Structure formats: C-alpha cells, structure tokens
Amino acid sequence: MSSHEVSNKVDAEIGGNEATGTEDQQQVVVEKEKRQRATRAKKSPVWLFFEEVRVPSKKKKGEIEIKGKCMACQKLFAKTASGTTSHWMRHLTTCDRHKLNQKSKQQKIINFQTEEEEEAEGDVETPSVVNPDYCDNARIREIICKLIIVHDMPFRIVEYKWFNILMKALNRGYKKMSRNTIRNECMKLYESEKDILKKYFKNVRKISLTCDLWTSNQTICYMSLVAHYIDDDWKMHCRIINFIELEPPHSGVVISNAPYDCLAAWKIEDKVASITFDNAASNDLAVKFLLAKFKNRKALWFEGKFLHVRCCAHILNLVVQDGLKMIGHLTDKVRETIKYIKKSNNRFYKFQNDIDSLNIGRSKGMVLDCCTRWGSTFKMLDSAFHYRAAIDAYASGDANYRWQPSDEEWLLYEQVNSVLGVFHAATKAFSGSTYPTSNLFYPHIVNIKKIICGLKESKKECIAAMADAMAEKFDKYWGPECNTLFAIAAILDPRFKMDMIKFTFPSLYEENEVAGKLESVETTLRELYALYESENNKSMATSANNESTSQCTSTSASSSTTAFSITSQYQEYMKAKNAYQPLKSDLKRYLDDEIENIPDDKFDILSWWKMNELKYPLVAKIARDILTIPVTSVSSESAFSTGGRVVDDYRSSLLPSTVQCLVCTSSWIRGGHHKEKDMDDDANSIPLVLVEEDSLSDN
C-alpha cells in the first residue's frame, strides 16, 4: 500500500468517525501524523548511508527492536518513536570511515607496482586500484601477537594511547582491542603454531631432548623440555616444546612422568634418541623410570645405551669448583682486593689514576666473581693479571691495604688462570643451542684430561692437590658409556674418524686399558651400523614385496606357457654367480677413505654430510641421529632466561598456561620453518642462546 493510499484511508476513517467522539478523532490524527513523518523520513538522504536492522532488545529480553546501522562503520543507532534521523546525520559528520568512502568515490588512489613486484607477480597490464579504507584486522592482530611474544612485551600495549594513534595513522580502518582480546589471540596463535610443529615432527627421524627445572618469582617450579633435531636439509634446530608447571615433590617419579606425558601429547615418544639432564640425584632416578617406560613401549633407540646424557657444562663446573677449593686461600686475596678498591669512590678513583699513569687502559675492568659461577672466577683472575702493575702501584700508596699478592702468588695465579682458560673455552664452545654438534665435545675433553694430568706432575703441593680433586670428579662422571657415545661422534667427523680415537685413548686411559676401550668403541659402532642396516633391509624388502605382488598377475600366465629349459636355468645361474661380488659396507668405505683436511673455522660438519649423504647413505643416517645429541642442557636454561623476562616482577600474575604459551611460541616463531613475508630473515633466525637473567620493566 502506497503512502498516498494510506493517507486517503486515514481521511476516510476520520470522516466516517466524526460522530464517535473527540478522543477517537484525536487518536486517528496522531496516527496519521506518525505515518506522514515516517514517509518523510524515508525520503531523507540519510537513508543512503543507513539501513534498518532488527536486533534483540537489551532493555526487554526476548523482544526485537529496529535500529539504524551505519553502512560505513557498522555502528547501531536507536530509532526514535517520532522517526527523526537528525542524530544519524550528526554521526555522518564525525564518522571517519564515511568521510574516506566519500573521498574515495571522488578520487581513486592508483598504486603503480614496482618492477620487482611485477616480476614476482607476472605481467601487469593495468595499474591496481587500492581502497584506502581496507584493513585486514585479522592479519594485523596476528602480527601484533608475534610482536608481543617475540619481544616480551605486555598485553596492555594494545591499550596504550600512542600505540593506537600509530596504528590509526598507518591504517584508518584499524580497530582498537583490549589486552584480554590480544591474550586470547596469542593463545590461538600458540595452538596454530603447535599444530604446524606437530605435523613437521612426523617427518623427523630422531629427536634429542634437554630438560631442566626453574623456580620463578612466584615460587612456581617450571620444567623446560627442549627438542633438538636435524631436518632434511641438514640444519640443526631446537624448539621449546613444553614449559609447564611442575608440582611438588620434585622426586624422580614426578620428574620422569612430566616429560613422558609431554612426549605422549606431542606423539613423539617413539622418536626419542637421548635426553640430557644435569647431575642432580633426582634426575638419575628419573632416567631409570623413563628407561622402564620406553622399554614397555618397545620404543628404545639402540637399547637405551645413549638415552641418558649428563650436562657437560655442569660437569666442567663441578670439576673446576673442586679444584678451586684447594687454592681458595689464593683467590681470596684477589677477591678482597677488588672489594676493597670498589667499596670507596676515593680508592677507586685513585686506582683508576694509577691505571692511567701506567697506560694500561680501563676497557677490561675489575670483575668480581660469583660463588655459583666458576666462569666469573676465571674472569676475576684474568682481570687481576691484567691490572697487576696497577695493584702493586696502589698498594705502595695505601697503608690500609693488606691483600697485595706476592710475586710467587702472581706466578701461581698465572698457572691456575691458564688452566681455567682451557675450561672456559670448552664451556663457551658447548654453550649454544643450534650450532654445537656432539662431535665438538671429544677434542675439548681430551685437552682437559691432558691439562689435569700435567698439573699432577707439578712440584707445588697446592697445584698437585687441585689436579687430584679435578681428576677424581672427571673420572666419576665421564665413564665408559659417555666416552663411547662421544667417541662415536668424533668418528663421524670426517676430519678425525678412527685415527683420532687411536691417537687420544692413550691420554685418557691407562696403558693396559687402551686396547679394551678401543675394541669396545669399535664393537658399539658395528652394532649401531648393523641396526641401521637391518632397518634399511626391512624397508627395502617391504617395497620389493609390494612391487612383486603387483607384477605377479602379469607374469603368471606367461610362465605357465613357457617351456622349462635347463639351459636357460644354467645361464641365469652363471649370470648371478659372476655378478655376485661382496661389496664394502658404507661404514667400511667411510673409514677407509682419506680424512678431510679442513681448518676448524671453515668446517661445517652438517654441510659436509649433506654433500656426502648419497655416498654413505647408512652412515649419514647414523650421523644425523648422533650429531643432534646435545652435550649440555644450555637450551633448557636459556628458556628460563626467556621465562624470567616473561614472568618478571611486574607480570608475576600470569597463569602458568599463559607463560607456556609465550615462552614456547617465542621459540617457534624465532626459529620457525616458515618465514614472514613482511619481516626480515634475521628476525626469524635468531638462535636461542644462553644469556644472563634480566627482568624488563614492562607491565
């Protein structure tokens, strides 16, 4: 019914009801005026930019009300009883999206592509037209999530005033969000990245693990579980796969259950090659329980002989700490000297003047050690040797200073410092997550053993006592199993092979033990090769059976009609006999070939095996699984450095599930198998390294 017909109908009703009374007449007049206003409102130009929508009423539950929705910004406005739309029109004067729409209608913005973009996307005949109002908010949220996770930023950054001003300046269509919204988006990103990594793990042959515990400022104990593996392109990777809260008591049973449950959740419990722990007694018990669980699943690699690996960095620390106890009275003088000089500004200023007058240089600095970090003791002694002349000069001008070392003690310091330098170099070589392979361990450990044996022959009692203490701890932790594992890793280094083992074993063992130790390593290597060879034969037999089954039908008809000839049988027999020649195994050919003469700084063992994988296919499989075994738990400890920044004093209320999301996703994004199109490659290839724990002030 048109508006004109409605008006006539109302007039007829009024004319027919004049006698019914004044009240009825007034009601009809009011209804007529409402219809007229509604008709006028529909003719208003505001309806070019608004549309009526039916939405649930917020005031009256269960009822539906009609509202006007802005076609530009999608905001809803109440529809008045009178039908006026003036408040809608006022909104159009302040709506930024409406203004942009109107501006884009007047003049389109042309985006001409560069030559590089044209080459990447193909020939472009016409320039593309870009809508300046377009904003992919889902993509922007994903990037903001990665920004927060990778750079340890607070969720509240999305509520900062100037952050939103920046985002609006970059794109007018950006929608502001709350910290709860971005947290939920981060959790979604965690789940999606986890699914990507799960799918990737299906194609990984063996995974080696590191595991360690850490207590946060909330007194919550976290367990970090890090996976190490070498991909098809012979690149080393490490990913934090779990960062979970570990409830007390932290016994061997609890510690064993937590990583096993994590492995089961990731469905990689059948791919575990080794797990590296520190030297706590509870960890030794945990390994026994893990060994039993893997045996029940029949998922042990090489019968579990190399399952438990002790953290070499912790063993080096224990060895050095035992040695330093024997010369504690010597290091105390250097320590007290540094404390005395740094305690007073006047004394420190005078000491710096002595440094300048002797033209030594201040760049090295006076370092004070920490009782739990032996590496700091090495740095303290090293700095003291550097400023020896300045310390002597200062002692001559300060009558209250009484810790000046004698010339004999300086000589003793020099001997001790050279020994600690060897340990420090070894620890530095081990303290990485993505570059060190297990073959690096053996040369360092042989060098340390030689240093300790040399110290035993010292005529000074304190040095000899220091060597005895170090040797006792060295022999306690590095038994035959560990030496066998890393001896095999050294054999898989094409610069060493078996000759390195034969050359170094006399330095590690007594003369009557060398032959037995060499035989043990060779036997273990042959057994390991036989295991891989049997697996390879099974896979080849399976593929051959499948192929023969498919050919069986086609050959059966012809064989039944072909005459059986003794001559043809004999010819086949002689052909097979002449063709049969026992071939050297991959292992035999690898060991017999000449060693590689490549300098250490230019040699990359993973690149070498990538180039020679086809030449020694079975030995390459062994190398891929052995070289990925981490010799330290540094990767797990570096996860705690990340955790310390995530759960700092200002963000201690984060839930353990949120902490796991941030720590794990940060690891996955930094070293992910996929790369962002709009980010530099360097941002995605940052290795996870061991750093000092320092809290950020983000809230």
Query: Does residue 375 carry a pLDDT above 60?
Result: yes
* pLDDT attached to residue 658: 93
- The per-residue pLDDT for range 202-248, each reduced to its tens digit, is 999 999 999 999 888 888 899 999 999 999 999 999 999 999 999 88
* 244 beta partners: 223
Q: What tens digit of pLDDT does each residue of 485-509 get? A: 989 999 999 999 999 999 999 888 8
Closest of 441, 425, 353 to residue 390, by C-alpha: 353
Q: What is the pLDDT of residue 86?
A: 78
Query: Residue 390: pLDDT band by 50, 70, 90 thresholds?
Result: very high
Average pLDDT over residues 678-697: 34
Q: What is the 3-state secondary structure (H, E, C) of 588-643?
A: HHHHHCCCCCCCHHHCCHHHHHHHCCCCCHHHHHHHHHHHCCCCCCHHHHHHHHHH
Contact 311, 277 (CB under 8 A): yes
**Tens-place pLDDT, residues 561-588:** 444 466 666 666 665 655 444 567 889 9
In one letter, which amino acid is 649?
A: D
Q: How far apart are CA 509 and CA 571, in angstroms?
A: 58
Confidence category of residue 43, pLDDT binned at 50, 70, 90: low
499: its two tokens: 């000759």
For the stretch 130-159, pLDDT in tens is: 455 567 888 999 999 999 999 989 999 999
Q: Report the percentage of the chain scoring pLDDT > 70.
A: 77
Q: What is the pLDDT of residue 67?
A: 84
In tens, the pLDDT along 299-318 reads: 889 989 999 998 888 888 88
The chain-wide mean pLDDT, for the chain, equals: 80
The DSSP line for 369-401 is -BTTBHHHHHHHHHHHHHTHHHHHHHHHH-TT-
Q: pLDDT digits over 350-371, tens only?
A: 999 999 999 988 888 888 888 7
pLDDT at 698: 36
Beta-ladder partners of 640? none
Instruction: Please name the residues in contact with 424: beta carbons below 8 A apart, sequence gap of 6 or more.
Output: 375, 378
Q: Which residue has the tokens 């910004």?
A: 73
**681-688 contacts, C-beta under 8 A, 24 or more apart:** 683/150, 687/432, 687/433, 687/434, 687/435, 688/238, 688/240, 688/433, 688/434, 688/635, 688/638, 688/639, 688/642
- Residue 70 forms beta bridges with which residues? 50
- Residues forming a β-bridge with 109: 130
Burial of residue 671 (number of CB atoms within 10 Å: 0-12, 13-18, 19+)? buried
- pLDDT at position 96, please? 72
